Amino acid sequence: MPDPYSDNTDEELNTAKQVDLANVGALNRQQLTPEAATAPRGQDHPPTDTVDHHNESADEHAGHSHDGLDNGHGHDHGPAGEWPYLWPAVSLAMLLGGIALDYFDVPFFVGLVRPLWYGVAFLLVGWKVLRAAAVSLPTGNVFNEFLLMSLATLGAFAIGEYPEGVAVMLFYTVGELFQDAAVNRAKRSIRALLEIQATEVTVLRDGQRLVIDPKEVQLEDLMEVRPGEKVALDGTLVAGPASFNTAALTGESAPQTKQAGEMVLAGMINLDTLVQVSVTAAFADTKLSRILAMVQDAVGRKARTQQFITRFAKIYTPIVVLLAVVLVLVPLAVVDDYVFRDWLYRALVFLVISCPCALVISIPLGYFGGIGAASKNGILFKGSNFLDVLRAIDTVVMDKTGTLTEGVFAVREVVAAPGTEAAELLRLVGALETKSTHPIAKAVVQHAQPSATAIAAVESVEEIAGHGLRGQVAGRTLLAGNTKLLRKFDVTYPPEVDAVVDSIVVLALDGQYAGYLTVADAPKADAARAVQELRADGITKLVMLSGDKDSIVQRVAAELGITEAHGGLLPEDKARYVQQYLDEGRKLAFVGDGVNDAPVVALADVGIAMGGLGSDATIETADVVIQTDHPSKIATARRIARATHTVVWQNIWLAFIVKGVVLALGAGGLATMWEAVFADVGVALLAILNAVRIQRMKF
């Protein structure tokens, strides 16, 4: 609700009628905490009405807003400053006192005293609404809650129903305060995410330690991070090992140990020793800044249910106002014992009931609660619309490497030819592979350490594209690569080597076959559980697509329980399969992590990215980001989406049924202002309490 105390009330009224999550708990720092407002940021990402890449328009919506807006005036500090319930409490005391005085027919409570008493009680809680209604008239924004409540309550005063007029405005105001409290509760989990950005950083320059704003740090600057401090910017660890708490980014409580040269991300907390980090990304380009931008953008993307309800409210409210006018005028011509006061009272009841607060607040709050619950579980939804789409999917297509498997190659077995010692072979190949940057080469070096470091003489290294390496190691000619490399140099090898399923590094010493190493990427610990949970959750088709060779893909698929898998695919092949499933009418989610997955992620109904190891391009293209890299979180995201959908539709039916019944009773003269208050404020509060439940659910 715009703040009628503000000097910018007219401007606020023009913007506050946008019923979307950007206005219900928007993530502008100024609207979260004073401390957060002063914290530095990489870029501003104000929530705006957008059209997402799935062509869902984010229309302008009329309705009810609860953000403090950018001028910093919100409900939080109302007329009572830090005690927003003070004036409502005084008004309630005066209302109850007035009712008691009426009941006992106290002599002095007559004449002007009675309307003045109730008038003061009314103005304590109603003057902000009256002022907002008056300011809204010149803007043309006539059919808003301020005007409806003003007409209904002033009309009640005009016909002498003072207690009911005060009660309507009092309960409306209290409802507003409760709604604000619910919105603030829904903000907390994401507010905590915003506050994990460091506000200062220690940089070593020219032999001096400088404490500066993270936005002023340059690439390749050397950051110093003390134990207990947050890492301010992405970078590589200069010396290791060092342990970091990554819970703020991944949701995982177990610390991660980083070695020298490994990536350290902004938002991690250094646990045990003074470390130095070489900066590799500017403040605006850190993974944390991009995550925050995703969360902020998420509140601007609306679900279809929200769009329908807010469009409905724009039509529904003026129709009810027109019916209220008809309810006063038409009986004049058709009712013999027409009493203007009685029919005006019925019309005023109609006006109170017509406020669509329960719908336009509780529904966005429900979706916002779903996004917040997902964030607490390490899942980022980039818009409430994706909660609805994810709930409806029946097909999940997944990449293999980095999604269902660890994405880290490791040597599984060293098989030496007869007459060759395995330890010596590993020592030689480990030394040669130090000259390559290929992921498999790194796995071999990691496995061979520290024996490979004992060899200093590695000479004449030649990298043969698509084949492997050739070089002189300790005076011997060593070939290390695939079988094509051995055939290229006319080295014969046993035929059973071609039957090995895993990726292998075949070796030859001085022109003779010497053995091979198997290198494999292990499935993630929860990958099999993820497949089981998705099947149990109603996913009828599970597919794995990979660029790895088909024999490995089929083995991993069988191990995880996936019945359809395709290997040896290029990015365009993956896109072709996904398009084929979409053409069959399937609702499809694609899960991936590599750069080559970005086009397919964009093509799917819902694109899901693994956010820990995933590429920046895929994360930015995706609709949902799994921060923990756990595939089992896909099923968790589905459960959150279903719970959100259930709560939202519970609120819709509750509001429609109660309002419909009371509208009918009001038109027939069977409902008073008290029933109208329940139909408006009471139902709104019940719907809000229901929406807040999402934050308490365990997924």
| Helix residue ranges, H only, 275-356 | 287-298, 304-334, 340-354
| Helix residue ranges, H only, 19-85 | 34-38
Question: Phi first, then psi: what are they for 468, rounded to 5°?
Answer: 150, -150
User: Which two structure tokens, joined as six digits, stand for 528?
Assistant: 């099999």
Going by the DSSP 8-state scheme, the letter that residue 57 receives in this structure is: B
CA pair distance 483, 480, nearest whole angstrom: 9
SS (H, E, C) 519-543: EEEEECCCHHHHHHHHHHCCCCEEE
Alpha-carbon Rg of the chain, whole angstroms? 33
Residues with Cβ within 8 Å of 562's Cβ and at least 6 positions away in sequence, in order, are: 531, 542, 543, 544
CA pair distance 530, 545, nearest whole angstrom: 16
- Residue in the structure block whose two tokens are 């009309």: 155
At 690 the three-state DSSP class reads helix
> Residue 243's beta-bridge partner residues?
257
Residues with Cβ within 8 Å of 574's Cβ and at least 6 positions away in sequence, in order, are: 399, 545, 596, 597, 600
Burial of 18 (0-12, 13-18, 19+ CB in 10 A): buried
Burial of 81 (0-12, 13-18, 19+ CB in 10 A): exposed
Mutual angle of helices 304-334 and 340-354, in 10-degree steps: 180
CA pair distance 629, 632, nearest whole angstrom: 9
Amino acid at 304: R
User: Which two structure tokens, joined as six digits, stand for 438?
Assistant: 């290929």
CA pair distance 326, 328, nearest whole angstrom: 5
CA pair distance 301, 675, nearest whole angstrom: 36
| Helix residue ranges, H only, 399-450 | 422-433, 439-448
Burial state string for 415-432 with b = 16 or more CB within 10 A and e = fewer than 16: bbbeebeeeebbbbbbbb
Residues annotated catalytic, as ranges: 399
- Measured CA angle at 35 (ends 192, 38), to 5 deg: 110
Nearest alpha carbon to residue 382 among 607, 699, 58: 607
Return left, alpha or beta for 131; rule: phi > 0 is left, psi -120 to 50 is alpha, else beta.
alpha
- The number of beta carbons lying within 10 Å of the beta carbon of residue 233 is 30
User: Which two structure tokens, joined as six digits, stand for 110?
Assistant: 């007559």
